[in-house]
A and B are shown apart, each in its own frame.
Chain A
Amino acid sequence: MNAATGYNFAYLDEGTKRMIRRAILKAIAIPGYQVPFASREMPMPYGWGTGGVQVTAAILGRADVLKVIDQGSDDTTNAVSIRAFFARTADVAVTTRTREATVIQTRHRIPEAPLSEGQVLVYQVPIPEPLRFLEPRETETRQLHALAEYGLMHVKLYEDIARHGHIATTYAYPVEVAGRYVMDPSPTPKFDNPKMDDCPALQLFGAGREKRIYAVPPHTRVRSLDFEDHPFRVQSFDRPCALCGAEGVYLDEVLLDDAGGRMFVCSDTDHCEERRADGHVGTGGMEAAHV
């Protein structure tokens, strides 16, 4: 018990941690399979990262260094709130540096800096079931996973191609893990999907409201679903970050005025800051609206 907060280390009681830890171990042993767990009511709302927070709370130790990002940024309100929660209840060291962190909790992005062995990336997941929008019933989707029957998903993606000429899924783009389970990567942009493949870090996924935990062990094959004639492709931006000049990174579009002025900047704020500290400079620029 932490005298300062009146709560156990990392908030959760030890029994709850054990229950979550057992689920994490099974999730790692069965990559991509969603393990049901008795998600607890947390002091933040469902849908705001309760699954990720429970996973982080269950793995965190005193020696860990925690980084929390939302939309790639360390300073968005929800990232600040969750980081403060752990700083208060677990008294762990926190950082905004991807390289310094041992545990990174994220919502919607994978950092640009390559992850390393020994790191754990914890994803907040709203809807863990990749088949949910094709089949709303849990009893049905569970059966489809048991049979590895993923035809529905291919049909859906192909319907997109027929209608739009492209697969119209731009985020939460389904992946196949280790050749078996189709998995929802959480609502990260598909830009980040290739980073999941053969990633040196352990990836853990927590869905609090839906009560599921799943995992991708390090160095595991993660393949984005696609078709021979329509191979998987990530988004690309036709300009570098306006602040640090980075190319090949995911950018946020910032509106500057009501006359169409906008700039594109790194979504990963730590990556951007580090580059600028190293002397990289972007055009900084306003651009006319011409997209």
Chain B
Amino acid sequence: MLARGFSDPVHDAQGVFRAVMDALARPGTLQPLAATLEPPAPLTPELAAIALALADADAALWLDEALRHDPAVADFLRFHTGARIADAPSEAAFALVSDAAACPDFAAFAQGTPAYPDRSATLVLAVCDLSDVEGWRLDGPGIRESARLAAAPLPADMLARLARNHAGFPQGIDLILAAPGRLAALPRSTRVQEG
């Protein structure tokens, strides 16, 4: 039996989109995300909700190794989104990463071009912990003076990756960090420093 999708496709998708939009518009803030889905593990309800809200035949998904392991994950996503599951990370509009600590290097994903920096990937990482009162110091568009953000688990060299990603602006990837019930985002425009 395939797990069900949004119970109210129009309004559930709108709610998830607004949470993602607010998170990207205000980096470092935590946005509540009512996760009502029960997707096949290890796909988290939050990753599933973001995929269902934003992916479709025109926006391919890439799944990390942990998600590729059980074909039920891809079947669930294909059925509910109609999106192609890309083999190469560079072909995806959205990358779903359930094992965030093992996230491939950002350079593997579409970075956009100087003329079309928008043709770039959005990475959605499942994390367990997410806090806006401690951790890195953020500044940039969307942030009044500065903000803080801590998330775990993440790759050991995450800060260096984010610094490289920001240095490539306007090219680069955008990052969504999704914890149970809430999410935060780090667009390429955000400068992230040690707290």
**A and B touch in their complex, CB below 8 angstroms:** yes
Residues on A facing B (Cβ under 8 Å):
8-9, 14-15, 17-19, 21-31, 33, 35-36, 58-62, 142-143, 145-147, 177-178, 180-181, 198, 200, 202, 215-221
Q: Return chain A residues, CB-CB under 8 Å to B117.
A: 30, 33
B81 closest partner in A (C-beta): A18
Residues on B facing A (Cβ under 8 Å):
9-11, 13-15, 17-18, 20-22, 24-26, 53-56, 58-59, 93, 113-118, 120, 122, 140-144, 169-170, 174, 187-189
Given A27-B118, A59-B17, A202-B25, 4 more A-B residue pairs with CB atoms under 8 Å apart are: A18-B53, A30-B118, A62-B11, A218-B142
CB distance from A202 to the nearest CB of B (A): 5
Q: Return chain B residues, CB-CB under 8 Å to A33.
A: 117-118, 170
Q: Are A178 and B25 in contact (CB under 8 A)?
A: no
Q: Return chain A residues, CB-CB under 8 Å to B122.
A: 25
Q: Return chain A residues, CB-CB under 8 Å to B113.
A: 146
For A15, give its contact among B14, B56, B93 (CB under 8 Å): B56
Most interface-central of B10, B14, B26, B53 (chain A CB within 10 A) = B14
CB distance from A109 to the nearest CB of B (A): 22
Q: Are A180 and B54 in contact (CB under 8 A)?
A: no
For B144, give its contact among A145, A180, A218 (CB under 8 Å): A218
Q: Are A25 and B141 in contact (CB under 8 A)?
A: no
The 6 closest A-B pairs by CB, nearest first: A217-B142, A29-B187, A146-B114, A26-B118, A220-B141, A219-B144
Q: Return chain A residues, CB-CB under 8 Å to B93.
A: 22
Q: Are B118 and A143 in contact (CB under 8 A)?
A: no
Q: Are B189 and A219 in contact (CB under 8 A)?
A: no
A180 closest partner in B (C-beta): B170
CB distance from B120 to the nearest CB of A (A): 7
Of the A-B pairs whose beta carbons lie under 8 Å apart in the complex, a sample of 26, sorted by A's number, is A14-B10, A15-B56, A17-B13, A18-B56, A18-B58, A19-B58, A21-B54, A22-B93, A25-B20, A25-B21, A28-B21, A28-B25, A28-B187, A29-B24, A29-B189, A33-B170, A36-B118, A62-B11, A178-B189, A181-B170, A202-B25, A217-B25, A217-B141, A219-B142, A219-B143, A220-B141
Please, how many angstroms separate the alpha-carbon atoms of A6 and B188 in the complex?
41
Q: Are A178 and B188 in contact (CB under 8 A)?
A: no
CB distance from B193 to the nearest CB of A (A): 17
Q: Are B170 and A218 in contact (CB under 8 A)?
A: no
B139 closest partner in A (C-beta): A219
Please, how many angstroms separate the alpha-carbon atoms of A60 and B54 in the complex?
15
Q: Return chain A residues, CB-CB under 8 Å to B22.
A: 202
Please, how many angstroms separate the alpha-carbon atoms of A147 and B133 in the complex?
38
Q: Are A30 and B188 in contact (CB under 8 A)?
A: yes
Given contacts A22-B93, A180-B169, A217-B25, contact A35 B118 (CB under 8 A): yes
Please, how many angstroms separate the alpha-carbon atoms of A204 and B77 in the complex?
30
Please, how many angstroms separate the alpha-carbon atoms of A217 and B14 in the complex?
19
Please, how many angstroms separate the alpha-carbon atoms of A16 and B141 in the complex?
27
Q: Are B115 and A28 in contact (CB under 8 A)?
A: no
Given contacts A178-B140, A218-B142, contact A8 B10 (CB under 8 A): yes
Q: Are A30 and B21 in contact (CB under 8 A)?
A: no
Q: Are B59 and A220 in contact (CB under 8 A)?
A: no
Given contacts A22-B93, A28-B25, contact A61 B18 (CB under 8 A): yes
Most interface-central of B24, B58, B93, B113 (chain A CB within 10 A) = B24
Q: Are B59 and A22 in contact (CB under 8 A)?
A: yes
Q: Return chain A residues, CB-CB under 8 Å to B25.
A: 28, 202, 215, 217-218
